[in-house]
Structure 1
Amino acid sequence: MVEEADRDTAVRRVQEAYAQGHLTHQEMNERLHQALTAATPGELAAALPDGEERAGTIAAVSGLILRRGAWRVPRTLKVESALAKVRLDLSRAIIDHPVVDIELRLGTGAALITVPRAATVDLDGLAAGWKDPRYRAGRHGTAGPTIRISGAMGLGRLTIRHARR
């Protein structure tokens, strides 16, 4: 079942892709129809523009980097920011890979990553600058994907939590 917040996010991303010239008017209409009639998260993810599925880098100088809802997580994701806050919610995302590598390159902004309830998190490749990451391993099994977080953080703090449901 698709939640309305996820459907709204997908519609917004299709509209943004059209506004940026990545989709024709006809492609936008087809994808909007697909997003509005999707019955499963997989059908909803299929409505997203191709770049949403393969995008390997998310970057911003300042502000907020936000990904949540039914978004397709690539196998390798790079997140780069000098000052921005980062919020990655993988709890309802479509994760097609048993292992997802997230490389963080953060300056002073804080990061919050919400992982699926049964995910395993590996922080061995992360160099924290000022503050150590906050993370408590989940107690809900290891049937989910492995999320490997690497890279470097400056003055910000990384907080990782497991989804509640």
Structure 2
Amino acid sequence: MTALPDDRPPLIGEDDRDTAVRRLREAYAEGHLSHEDLDARLHRALTAKTRGELVSALASLPAEKAAATSTIAAAGGRIKRGGAWRVPRVLKVESAFGRVRLDLSRAVIEHPVVDIELHLGTGRAKITVPRDAIVEYGELHTGWKDTRYRAPRSSRPGGPTIRISGTLGFGRLKIRHARR
């Protein structure tokens, strides 16, 4: 008996679906979609089983912007960013020795999700996030001390998601929400 070729289109994975949902939300936030159109397209994306169905949910969206990545590196000394600075989509911070202080409380954050990759040998790091930010740091690996973070008792929706990952050798990361 001869097996027939399998003509079924391949199924999509959760990563593809998550990427589509992210793109739809970004297009809505930028004003490219109405609320009703967003709801309909999200439903199509979340129920899609094939790549073709997923592509139809993303039809006519503007081209995805290239991910903005910036690297701050220092062999020793301090790395400090504060005030009204523009936060890239992906921020890589590398330091062999010294302290790192990132204050995002008054920064210009244009992306709904900001990834901060820390690669620190020794020294402390302190990150101040906006009051309404959501913080995720499960992908951060520390060699010596645990990360200090206390989530706010109440949070307002609509803030950016700050995802912190990477490695810390000897030192501690302290994350806090801005008070204002």
**TM-score in terms of structure 1 length:** 0.66
1:65, CA displacement in angstroms?
Answer: 0.3
Q: How does 1:31-110 map to 2 (within 5 A)?
A: 56-110=70-124
Aligned pair partner of 2:165 in 118, 143, 150: 150
In the alignment of these two chains, the number of paired residues is: 112
Aligned pair partner of 1:141 in 142, 156, 160: 156
Q: Which string of whole-angstrom CA distances, capped at 9 and with x for unpartnered residues, describes residues 68-107 of structure 1? A: 0000000000000011200000000000000000000001
Structure 2 gap ranges (5+): 1-67
Contact 2:69 / 2:92 at 8 angstroms: preserved in 1?
no
Mark the structure with the bigger radius of gyration. Answer: 2
Task: Give me the whole-angstrom Cα distance separating, in 2, the residues matched to 1:128 and 1:155.
Answer: 8
1:140, CA displacement in angstroms?
Answer: 2.4
Structure 1 gap ranges (5+): 1-53
User: What's the RMSD between the two structures over aligned residues?
Assistant: 1.0
SS in structure 1 opposite 2:138?
strand
State the partner residue of 1:115.
129
> Is the aligned partner of 1:163 residue 2:178?
yes
Contact 2:69 / 2:89 at 8 angstroms: preserved in 1?
no
Tell me the amino acid that sits aligned with residue 124 of structure 1.
G
Give the number of the structure whose residues are more often helix, by fraction.
Answer: 1
**TM-score in terms of structure 2 length:** 0.61
